[in-house]
A and B are shown apart, each in its own frame.
Chain A
Amino acid sequence: MKVSSILSLSVKNIFLKKFAYLKVLAGFFFAFLIIFIVLFYSGSLSIAYKTYENNNADCLHYYIGKDVSAEEELEIRAFPQVKSIWAFENVSFANNSVINLQIGGSAFEIAERSFYEILISPKSDYMICENDEIYFTAQTGENVILYGTQIKKHGDIVISEDVLDNLGITEREELLGKEISFSGELWAADGEEGYIYNESGIICGISNEKLGRYSVSASVFGFLPDGVPAAATYVELKSFTGNEDFFAKMDAMFGEQVMHTFVGSGILDDMKIVEGQEMLCNRFLSIICTVLIAVIAIYVASNQYYLLLKNSVFYGILKANGVSNREVFLMHTFELAITLIVALIIAFGASVGLFFVIKELFYSLMSIDLIFPAGAAVASFFGFFAACAALAVLITLFIYVKILKKPPVRLLRK
């Protein structure tokens, strides 16, 4: 038999047994529907997240991990996009995620590796970043030190109230003069293992919460521990877009020592909401989905089995009338693949529709504008398409070995 006639026989069989096939199709449909909705929803959240970050960031900093020369500075200033440049020399930074912390000999539990930007320990001067933007030097004159003093000598450490709150430390003045030691991890730019460092010193001051609080997702640069170039230059740009020529130039001039970061003030709290939603989506929804899909899988399996029982006599008759094993295999594969793919197409259409309903709801109830993740949607559709074909072959292979391969008379049992 030609493959095309086997295909047409499969199609015909589906049509003539539509009720049996509809049951199986319904199972596949709901499974695909749930998967697509979750994919679209989480996809749109991640778009929302990125857009939000970019739209709300109010400055763009370019970080150069070294002191720039006078000539280099001139070249940088020549770009019309550049708003300002400032440099720090001879700084040693504390940083990013703190792994453990001891004050006055007692250890504090760091529940999660979080982003407490604890402290500042410069050699001759210090700086603190909040939202990657606020910098703080002795020259600013802004009084951010609530207790004690600013850093005066090497080994002095200022700790932020925000960090103390986060750690549940209520004392303030009593902390002054106590020894503090901690280890932390400097985030590696490319997502590899971070650089682990240890710092220790004497608490000389406590700053207000403005200092030392920033989110890793909103930042790239932080404080550099000893051993990392103890100098830095920041270039503030006027706008987020249209900086390609500038980036290219920076890369050419400084290579790996440069990186850029989009940052916005106040972005952190908003991002926490989005992060929370994403977490809700990822954790909560994924549990529900797993359960639902398991239920559907059982439903589909039982229906598939029922369909096979119904069809086994039919396959037996086909074989008795001259259909070979290979042809029966192909026919079953076609029938299953068609059912799966029709379910996939309908589910895709329905989930796109449903997404826009959800989008309307979100917008009217919460003013959150979900954006349809078209790229991810198309990619997942084709991914599932291929998966359906593979699944049809795999399931058929199993059924073939278990049942279809047998001599015809073994299929002719009621």
Chain B
Amino acid sequence: MIELRNISKNYGNFFALSGVSLQIEDGEFVAVVGESGSGKSTLLNLIGQIDTPSDGEIIINGKTATKLPEKEVAAMRNKTFGFVFQSFFLEPTYTVTQNVEIPLLLAGVKKSARAERVSAALQKVGLTEKANNKASDLSGGEQQRVAIARAIVNDPPVIIADEPCGNLDTKNGDGVMQLLKELNGEGKTVLMVTHSAEHAKWAKRIIKLCDGKVLYDEGSNV
């Protein structure tokens, strides 16, 4: 379970988020929507512990992440979260496999187990054939699927996806949504930012942000 207590993030006088409090239960599928600049990415980055709040507390599975030492926060990122970004952030000179196995390398997984888990992840995203291609040689849709494979390979309970379909056409975008839905079906918590009303409908809960505040929160099962 993820709990935000009165979270704020400011840059000087400007508040990207102000006083946001939320609870997200395990297994939820949440879409975060709102205008550009409303604080969606900021919210997800803070939840995923890849950014630090200016104020407030974030409690993840009973641990107050905002008070943990950096090393433990890093470990939490590895164990708890898988990230999918709008611009994929793959290493272009690495092969698909090499990109996907990064979280496993960091977790110290043995070589044989790594190969197994990478191929399972690639199978899930339908890229088994491209395993040895350079990431830069793939299409946008394929690259995003590689990024998803990387996000799930370590089997984290929470997937954080910031506009995962932002750079994709409708067909590829729907494919990614399908994948996220499947992951949610397997019990993973999925937090997703989207600009598409269509895609937001795939989620069970929609949080709308406006000027750094929660405008509405629909379908919350809290």
Contact = CB atoms under 8 A, between A and B. Distances in A.
A16, A321, A325, A407 interface centre (most CB from chain B within 10 Å): A321
Nearest to B105: A9
B83 A322 contact: no
Interface stretch (A152-160, A309-317, A354-362): A309-317
A408 B106 CA distance: 15
Interface string B86-126: 01010101100010001101111000000000000000000
Interface in B66-82: 70-71, 74-79, 81
B70 A325 contact: yes
A2 B107 CA distance: 10
Nearest to A407: B51
B105 A407 contact: no
Contact of B108 (A2, A412, A414): A2
Contacts of A410: 51
A311 B50 CA distance: 17
A322 B106 contact: yes
A409 interface: yes
A61 interface: no
A409 B45 contact: yes
Contact of A322 (B78, B98, B150): B78
Contact of A318 (B79, B87, B106): B106
A190 B105 CA distance: 62
Given A314-B91, A317-B89, A407-B51, A324 B74 contact: yes
Place the interface of chain A in its size category.
Answer: 20 to 34
A322 B50 CA distance: 10
A318 B102 contact: yes
Contact of B50 (A319, A325, A326, A414): A319
B51 A1 contact: no
A326 B102 CA distance: 18
Given A313-B89, A314-B91, A320 B48 contact: yes
Contact of B74 (A316, A319, A414): A319
Given A407-B51, A409-B51, A412-B89, A319 B77 contact: yes
A2 B109 CA distance: 12
B107 A320 contact: no
A164 interface: no
B29 interface: no
A326 B71 contact: yes
B48, B74, B94 interface centre (most CB from chain A within 10 Å): B74
B87 A414 contact: yes
B52 interface: yes
Nearest to B71: A324
A367 interface: no
Interface in A177-197: none
A323 B74 contact: yes
Interface string B18-51: 0000000000000000000000000001001011
Nearest to A325: B70
Nearest to A17: B93
Nearest to B94: A16
Contacts of A313: 89
Contacts of B52: 407
A78 to B, nearest CB: 79
Given A314-B91, A407-B51, A409-B51, A321 B106 contact: yes
A412 B71 CA distance: 19
Interface string A43-74: 00000000000000000000000000000000
A324 B87 contact: no
A2, A323, A409, A412 interface centre (most CB from chain B within 10 Å): A409
Interface string A314-353: 1011111111111100000000000000000000000000
Nearest to A19: B93
A316 B81 CA distance: 14
B36 to A, nearest CB: 17
B193 to A, nearest CB: 13
Contacts of A327: 74
Contacts of B93: 16-17
A77 to B, nearest CB: 81
Contact of A324 (B48, B70, B81, B150): B70
Contact of A1 (B83, B106, B154): B106
B56 to A, nearest CB: 16
B94 A322 contact: no
A5 interface: yes
Given A16-B93, A314-B91, A317-B89, A1 B108 contact: yes
B106 A323 contact: yes
Nearest to A2: B108
Contacts of A316: 50, 89
Contacts of B83: 320-321
Nearest to B79: A322
B71 A320 contact: no
B77 A317 contact: no
A2, A313, A322, A407 interface centre (most CB from chain B within 10 Å): A322
21 contacts: A5-B105, A9-B105, A16-B91, A17-B91, A313-B89, A316-B50, A317-B91, A317-B102, A319-B74, A320-B77, A321-B103, A321-B106, A321-B150, A322-B76, A322-B77, A325-B74, A407-B51, A408-B50, A408-B51, A409-B51, A412-B50
Q: Which 9 pairs across A and B sit closest by C-beta, in order of nearness?
A: A322-B78, A324-B74, A408-B50, A409-B51, A409-B50, A321-B103, A409-B45, A324-B71, A322-B77
Given A321-B102, A322-B74, A410-B51, 10 more contacts: A5-B108, A9-B105, A319-B77, A320-B77, A322-B78, A325-B74, A327-B74, A408-B51, A408-B77, A412-B85
